[in-house]
Amino acid sequence: MSVMNEPTMALSATGLRKSYGDKVVLDGIDLNVAEGTIFSLLGPNGAGKTTTVQILSTLVTADHGDVRVAGHDPRHDPDGVRAAIGVTGQFSAVDNLLTGQENLILMADLHRLGRREGRRRAAELLERFDLTDAAAKAAATYSGGMRRRLDLAMTLVGRPRVIFLDEPTTGLDPRSRRSMWQIIRELVAGGATVFLTTQYLEEADQLADRVAVLDHGRLVAEGTPDELKRLIPGGHIRLSFTGVESLDAAARVLGEVTRDDEALTLRVPSDGSVESLRTLLDRLSSIELSSLSVHTPDLDDVFLALTGHSQKEAVR
């Protein structure tokens, strides 16, 4: 029974397992996503992100596990789930032969919105996704960013309560990526729940209320981006020196530091604030420094700390 002050779950999964032949893709994962939040499933290629989305969106049946999406069980009531969700997959799901407007009206017809309401909704979404000028052009002629926006607009025609976005910004240029982030934030502001997969740590950090880190079909961590960052050693300042003499001198002054004789660097634990930087530089006033950099922990550090391999390595 849910308690009043506990958030309602838009989506939950317990002990989710899926294998294809001998290959275990999901090895018992648990997920809970509160209504009206952005949840990000973070992991490298092949971690099982897409399979998770496919199971939650009724495209694939799990071998084991209990799933509820918007209160419905995908195994026994797939149409109940489908009526509540919208899915934008990794690969473009637009009809290339139709125009942008026709694609949206096709969705409106399949949602049985009626002719007038369908046209109104299509016009509204074209406007919102900055596609009005391209409305009468075939989707085949759209750029990558426009196609992604049309794809998402089509997903929104039926006003889904739970929206799945499988790597929504993969392959987009930085500007299109930022505009997609803005759109995703607006979706949640409008009351929807977003389940987002990404292999970009920055994306999860920017958007998600909660992040789960998926590696080889298992969840290796879950929490808010800040909680995950707290799991790893704090930030540091990296000092580079021109020679061994100055490195030695600085190490003597600072005491507790990590030194790298080959690179001629010292790592000094720090919160990265201006005050701590000033203090540090004051103490080193007589020593010749070649450069200095401030390092704050990001989710890449989390990934490295949790899995023993960096995300970039895993992605190749």
Partner 1 sequence: MSTLSLAARDSATMLRRNLRHALRYPSMSLSTAAMPIIFMLLFVYVFGSTLGAGIGGADYVDYVAPGIILMTAAAGAISTAVSVCVDMTEGIVARFRTMAISRVSLLTGHVVGSLIQTMFGMALVIGVAVLIGFRPSAGPVAWVEATGVLLMLTLALTWLAVAFGLVAKRPETASNLPLPLTLLPFLGSGFVPTDSMPAGVRQFAEYQPFTPLTETLRGLLMGTPIGHHGLIAVAWCAAIALGGYLWAKRLFNRAG
Residues at the contact surface with partner 1, assessed by CB under 8 A: 57-59, 79-80, 82-83, 85-87, 89, 91-98, 102, 106, 109-112, 138, 154-155, 158
- The span from the CA of 94 to the CA of 148, in Å, is 9
Closer CB to partner 1, 93 or 304, in the complex: 93
Rounded to whole angstroms, the Cα distance separating 245 from 206 reads 42
Distance between CA atoms of residues 247 and 211, nearest Å: 40
Q: How far is the CB of 78 from partner 1 (least distance, A)?
A: 8
Q: Which of 222, 219, 226 is nearest to 27 (CA)?
A: 219
For residues 33 and 266, which CB has a smaller minimum distance to partner 1 in the complex? 33
Kindly tell me which of 97 and 263 has the beta carbon lying closer to partner 1.
97
Residue 63 or 102 having the CB closest to partner 1: 102
| Smallest separation (angstroms) from partner 1 to the CB of 106 | 6
Residue 163 beta carbon to partner 1: minimum distance, rounded to whole angstroms? 11
Minimum CB separation of residue 168 from partner 1 in Å reads: 14
Q: How far apart are CA 125 and CA 43, in angstroms?
A: 31
Cα–Cα distance, 49 to 36 (Å, whole number): 21
d(Cα 269, Cα 35) in Å, to the nearest integer? 39
φ, ψ dihedrals at 213, nearest 5°: -100, 120
**Least distance CB 80 / partner 1 (angstroms):** 8
Q: Closer to partner 1 at the Cβ: 84 or 250?
A: 84
CA pair distance 303, 222, nearest whole angstrom? 11
Distance CA 100, CA 151 (A): 9
Nearer to partner 1, 120 or 309 (CB): 120
Q: CB of 68: closest distance to partner 1 in angstroms?
A: 17
203 vs 181: CA distance, rounded Å: 8
